[in-house]
Amino acid sequence: MSDYETVIGLETHAELNTKTKIFCGCKNEFGSEANSNVCPVCLGLPGALPVLNEKVVEYAVKMGLALNCTINSVSALARKNYFYPDLPKAYQISQSYLPLCVNGYVEFLYNGSISRVRINRIHIEEDAGKLVHSENGEDKTYIDFNRCGVPLIEIVSEPDIHSSGEAVAYLKTLKSILRYLDICDCKMQEGSIRCDVNVSHNRKGGPLGTRCEMKNVNSFSAVGRAIEFEIKRQKQLLADGSSIVQQTRRWDDIMGRSFVMRTKENADDYRYFQEPDIPPFEVSKQKIEELSALIPQLPNIKIIRYVTELGISVKDAEFIADNIELSAFFDECVVSARHRPKSYCDWIMGELVKYLNSHSISFGQTRLTVGGLNDMLDAIANGIISNSAAKKVFEVLLEDQKSVDEIINELGLAQLNDISQLEVIAEQVLSSNEKSVQDYKSGKTNALGYLVGQCMKVSNGKADPVRMKEILLSYLML
């Protein structure tokens, strides 16, 4: 079976967090009372006319630019015709021949190297309603139309992905970009991001095999499991000499397997035609330039830069890049270049994150500045404060706008470097810990660590531990 290659493509739907729906003024809001955010347009009542929400186009163009797409200057909406109870018009307004964004790509770090997945297209469309199956024993299904007309973008990848792990990494990348652009709330548990997964197998270098599609997989872990299941199923069929039949399958995450929904479905079946109620629309060059200027450096690019240029570990790079505020702060520190990127990273990932978590606040609620952190790192580098005293300084920097010098003086944290003072401490500790001294002299060298610890205690943490150790050793050698 090793001569077969797994090929995966994803169609990712993301709900856009515009204030109103895509074709009417109804609120775009999750969790409202059923059927409270509806009007004749989103209910598809006869005679109601849709008007395209400009914000939806802007958000989609932003995602297109973030994924290196070409933005079509003229774009058109199309009707996708099918019947389902959650779709009152019996068609979905989507895009077909002239999607908003085409021919892009996204790069991200996966397994230590850069993966590049081409983006076939990004188009805008409306969401359908939601079927609510009764849970109290009555054999009924209710319909909530609040979600009808909620704006979606569908991001269609080329079949460039080759494992479930890479697919999940790709999805996580899309999610972090959507969050950076602030165009989707990314709450997977509320269905804000959903995925259709295509899996096929072909002989290496040969033409693409027949694909099977799994619909509506809505968590990262479910995507991973659904793909693993499908790879195993297809490889088994191929090993048995059977052929793969084109199918649409439904993934059941609780059962851990997928089931056939329907076979052989093609775009023709939807009888796409241009939406007659909304004319094709233009996105001006100027608009694209304006939106392009609003796009920050994106998390996937930051991760690659942190790891390959700054020598930060993948885990730390992913954590910092995932947090817009933290990564902006880290970037500023790196630009200041007063200390190594790794030092900044260690303090951010260590004391800062610990503080934010224990106080349940975000970075923006602290008073830490790049200058403050740099001054503190200077004080450590110049031997003015010990690492443990620096932790106390750092905590004050987070809460108060005081200078590092002020804090060191107020808290009396300056390190003791004076040899004669250190010698007094050493003599005091050695005379009151005779057993440890004997232990050390009889070969138990770890007694030295204990003695250094005692000296630090006596000095209230102010002794320079390196010098302290040297002085202790000089006495013990006598």
The contact set with Zn ion (CB under 5 A) reads 24, 26, 39, 41-42
3-state helix, strand, coil in the chain (%, to 5): 45, 20, 35
What is the amino acid identity at position 191? G
**Cα–Cα distance, 449 to 455 (Å, whole number):** 10
Shortest gap between Cβ of 59 and Zn ion (angstroms)? 18
Shortest gap between Cβ of 257 and Zn ion (angstroms)? 38
Q: Are 144 and 258 in contact (CB under 8 A)?
A: no
Shortest gap between Cβ of 30 and Zn ion (angstroms)? 15
**Cα–Cα distance, 398 to 392 (Å, whole number):** 10
Q: Which is nearer to Zn ion, 39 or 156 (CB)?
A: 39
**Cα–Cα distance, 405 to 396 (Å, whole number):** 12
Q: Which is nearer to Zn ion, 96 or 146 (CB)?
A: 146
**Cα–Cα distance, 13 to 155 (Å, whole number):** 6
Q: Which is nearer to Zn ion, 26 or 65 (CB)?
A: 26
Helices 324-336 and 314-322: crossing angle in degrees, nearest 10, is 110
Shortest gap between Cβ of 41 and Zn ion (angstroms)? 5
Q: Are 195 and 225 in contact (CB under 8 A)?
A: no
Shortest gap between Cβ of 180 and Zn ion (angstroms)? 29
Q: Which is nearer to Zn ion, 23 or 108 (CB)?
A: 23
**Cα–Cα distance, 168 to 12 (Å, whole number):** 12
296 to each of 62, 286, 320, 324, how far by Cα in Å?
Answer: 11, 18, 15, 10
Shortest gap between Cβ of 89 and Zn ion (angstroms)? 12
Q: Of 36, 45, 15, 39, which is closest to residue 25 (Cα–Cα)?
A: 39
Q: Which is nearer to Zn ion, 50 or 209 (CB)?
A: 50
Shortest gap between Cβ of 143 and Zn ion (angstroms)? 15
**Both tokens assigned to 39:** 């009007």
Q: Which is nearer to Zn ion, 32 or 343 (CB)?
A: 32
Q: Which is nearer to Zn ion, 49 or 245 (CB)?
A: 49
